[in-house]
A and B are shown apart, each in its own frame.
Chain A
Amino acid sequence: EPEVTQTPSHQVTQMGQEVILRCVPISNHLYFYWYRQILGQKVEFLVSFYNNEISEKSEIFDDQFSVERPDGSNFTLKIRSTKLEDSAMYFCASPPPGKETQYFGPGTRLLVL
């Protein structure tokens, strides 16, 4: 059964540095989502992406964040200048066409020092 994959599994970066988190969604999925989970807290929606553009974003998704699908397969989340409070687990998710259930990737654990 196809799975959503994410790389890297862990990333440590210095405050102010740029990071790019990558997701490979399941090939026939059309909608893609990024969520984050600060340690010990609930999962929060960041942004949704459809047809090569953002369809919705949360208040968390400010100008420091961007998403793109550069080559039609990878789906990336970029944080331009990381802050300490960006430390979290970042999940990519997508539903099969016509379905609501979102299947999550294994996540990238980001630590900003």
Chain B
Amino acid sequence: AQKITQTQPGMFVQEKEAVTLDCTYDTSDPSYGLFWYKQPSSGEMIFLIYQGSYDQQNATEGRYSLNFQKARKSANLVISASQLGDSAMYFCAIIPSQGNLIFGKGTKLSVKP
């Protein structure tokens, strides 16, 4: 069975600083994809970043980067230069071989001015 663990229910960060949101995963599939989604208070699920299990380099998308450590089964999200609009729930998810997303419980990020 696949599982995503996000151990930080809530995080605070000062505006303009960087923050790391933790995610560990468990899967027996040799091939999988890892994702981060942002859910603002309005409720929509916004795709942020993707990392394939065979990708050699860490994924980056603008201010978002994914710190992928395969041996440790971790896929932490790093947000640089935090903005007030980054305040939201952040969900880590995995797609194993069968194709549906399996989500963690999320981390609520609050950016302080």
Which residues of A approach B to under 8 Å, CB–CB? Answer: 31, 33, 35, 41-45, 48, 55-56, 58, 89, 91, 93, 100-104, 106-107, 109
How far apart sit A1 and B58, CA to CA, in the bound complex (Å)? 26
Contact with A along B1-37 (1 / 0, CB 8 A): 0000000000000000000000000000000010101
Closest to B93 in A: A43
- Residues of chain B within 8 A (CB-CB) of A100 are 33, 50, 52, 95, 99
Q: Is B100 a contact of A41 with CB atoms below 8 Å?
A: no
Chain A CB within 8 A of B91 CB: yes
Q: Is A48 a contact of B105 with CB atoms below 8 Å?
A: no
How far apart sit A52 and B33, CA to CA, in the bound complex (Å)? 25
Closest to A100 in B: B33
Could you say which of B44, B46, B91, B102 has the most chain A C-beta atoms within 10 Å of its C-beta?
B44
- Residues of chain B within 8 A (CB-CB) of A55 are 99
Which residues of B approach A to under 8 Å, CB–CB? Answer: 33, 35, 37, 43-47, 50, 52, 91, 93, 95, 98-106
Task: Identify which of A41, A56, A91, A109 contacts B45 (C-beta below 8 A).
Answer: A91
How far apart sit A109 and B47, CA to CA, in the bound complex (Å)? 20
- 24 examples of A-B residue contacts, CB within 8 angstroms: A33-B100, A33-B101, A35-B101, A41-B105, A42-B103, A42-B106, A44-B103, A45-B100, A48-B99, A48-B100, A56-B99, A89-B43, A100-B50, A100-B95, A101-B35, A101-B47, A102-B47, A104-B44, A104-B45, A104-B47, A106-B43, A106-B44, A107-B44, A109-B43
